[in-house]
């Protein structure tokens, strides 16, 4: 939260815990880093009461950016001028960076998968699903915000990833995703948000499959075979508490389950059978949540916990990770 400019009056209200306007109410409820840019006349900034309030604000954990020297509203040239926007952004970035060091995922490597796989029948056709990867991207951003060093594996058609990712790699089908997951399987936290095809064509044609223009009753039979179950494989390889050392955290596996019916029973079965720690379960609801939307309605299921989250994906992603790692 950034307060710029921050007057002497607002500064006094802040350090004394007043809540007589929306800014102060929001500040009192804030669970994020707070940065204050005191801006006032030079004589005011040097007043003992203001100096005491600035000292108190710093002791309360707020970041205080000292004002610049320059021409003020009074016409005087003195300290008290609001710093340039570039400087404010620079200090805000450093403040956020420092706050990550105390986050619940600080010091942990987090692997996040996002988006669909494409299983090609021929060079122009494939089996896939409508996943946009938005939930996976939201989980990656949330993991970073909570202190994690994030590796993002991104499927076809997924939007641009944040520059804050430690590494961003792309996959096309389940096979290429499996290869990347194996490469980073020792991550402290794995978030399998990718929508992986359960089946692929038994054979892939090197040329486009042509229809018989002389046979209007022609039927094309496709033989499908199972793809590897990546989440199950991760569960089998999971580093549990017995394998943990002072340098390694117990590994946490978070899976996703999208269903069209019987959401909770299917999700609980997936949780148990695949040896994961948490399942984020949601129903297919066209236009309201799930695929291709910015909204989601997720039931977070653990071995002894269950909680619902509803709202924008970028918001509930952070809520979910806080719930898991708080």
- Please tell me whether residue 205 adopts helix, strand or coil conformation: coil
- Please tell me whether residue 247 adopts helix, strand or coil conformation: coil
Say what the pTM is: 0.72
Hey, what's the torsion of the CAs at 37, 42, 48, 53, to 10 degrees? -10
Q: Judge whether 152 and 168 are in contact, CB under 8 Å.
A: yes
Per-residue pLDDT tens digits of the chain, which is 326 residues long: 999 999 999 999 999 999 999 999 999 998 788 999 999 998 999 999 999 999 999 988 899 999 999 998 888 999 999 999 999 999 998 887 777 767 889 889 999 999 999 999 999 999 999 999 999 999 999 999 888 999 999 999 999 887 889 999 999 999 999 999 999 999 999 999 999 999 999 999 999 999 887 888 889 899 999 999 999 999 999 986 555 554 567 899 999 999 989 999 999 999 999 999 999 999 886 566 668 788 999 999 999 889 999 999 999 999 999 999 98
Burial class (CB in 10 A: 0-12, 13-18, 19+), 29: exposed
DSSP string, 100-165: HHTSTTTT-EEEEEESB--EEEETTEEE-----SHHHHHHHHHHHHTT-EEEEEE-TT--PPPTT-
Query: pLDDT at position 272, please?
Result: 94
Query: pLDDT at position 248, please?
Result: 65
Q: Identify which of 42, 43, 36, 93 has the alpha carbon closest to the alpha carbon of residue 65.
A: 36
**Tokens 């939007």 identify what position?**
159
Query: pLDDT at position 24, please?
Result: 95
For residue 257, list its beta bridge partners: 281
Query: pLDDT at position 164, please?
Result: 81
Q: What is the number of H-type helices and E-type strands within the chain?
A: 10, 17
Query: pLDDT at position 212, please?
Result: 81
Query: pLDDT at position 163, please?
Result: 80
Query: pLDDT at position 287, please?
Result: 60
Query: pLDDT at position 145, please?
Result: 86
Rounded CA-CA distance 112/90 in Å is 28
Q: Judge whether 190 and 106 are in contact, CB under 8 Å.
A: no
Query: pLDDT at position 152, please?
Result: 97
Residues in the chain: 326
Q: Are β-strands 306-312 and 295-302 bridged in parallel, bridged antiparallel, or unpaired? A: antiparallel
Domains and CATH numbers, the chain: 2-101 (3.40.50.1950), 109-325 (3.40.50.10300)
Task: For residue 209, count other CB atoms closer than 10 A to its CB.
Answer: 12
Q: Identify which of 93, 43, 92 has the alpha carbon closest to the alpha carbon of residue 65.
A: 92
């Amino acid at each position: 939260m950034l307060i710029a400019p921050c007057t002497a009056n607002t500064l006094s209200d802040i350090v004394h815990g007043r809540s007589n306007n929306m800014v102060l109410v929001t500040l009192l409820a804030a669970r994020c880093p707070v940065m204050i840019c005191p801006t006032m006349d030079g004589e005011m900034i040097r007043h003992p009461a203001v100096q005491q309030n600035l000292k108190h604000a710093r002791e309360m954990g707020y970041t205080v950016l000292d004002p610049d020297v320059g021409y003020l509203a009074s016409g005087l040239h003195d300290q008290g001028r609001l710093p340039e926007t570039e400087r404010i952004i620079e200090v805000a970035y450093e403040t956020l960076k420092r706050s990550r060091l105390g986050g619940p995922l600080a010091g942990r490597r987090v692997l996040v998968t996002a988006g669909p796989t494409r299983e090609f029948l021929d060079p122009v056709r494939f089996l896939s699903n409508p996943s946009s990867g938005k939930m996976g991207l939201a989980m990656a951003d949330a993991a970073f915000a909570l202190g994690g060093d994030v590796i993002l594996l991104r499927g076809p058609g997924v939007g641009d990833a944040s520059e804050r990712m430690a590494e961003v790699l792309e996959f096309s089908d389940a096979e290429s995703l499996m290869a990347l997951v194996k490469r980073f399987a020792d991550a402290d936290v794995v978030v399998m948000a990718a929508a992986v095809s359960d089946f692929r064509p038994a054979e892939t044609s090197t040329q486009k499959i042509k229809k018989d223009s002389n046979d209007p009753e022609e039927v094309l039979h496709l033989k499908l075979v199972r793809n590897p179950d990546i989440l199950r494989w991760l569960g089998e390889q999971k580093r549990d508490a017995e394998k943990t050392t002072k340098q390694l955290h117990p590994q946490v596996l978070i899976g996703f389950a999208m269903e069209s019916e019987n959401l909770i029973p299917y999700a609980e079965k997936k949780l148990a059978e695949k040896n994961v720690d948490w399942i984020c379960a949601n129903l297919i609801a066209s236009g309201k949540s799930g695929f291709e939307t910015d909204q989601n309605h997720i039931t977070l299921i653990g071995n002894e916990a269950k909680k619902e989250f509803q709202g924008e994906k970028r918001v509930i992603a952070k809520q979910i990770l806080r719930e898991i790692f708080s």
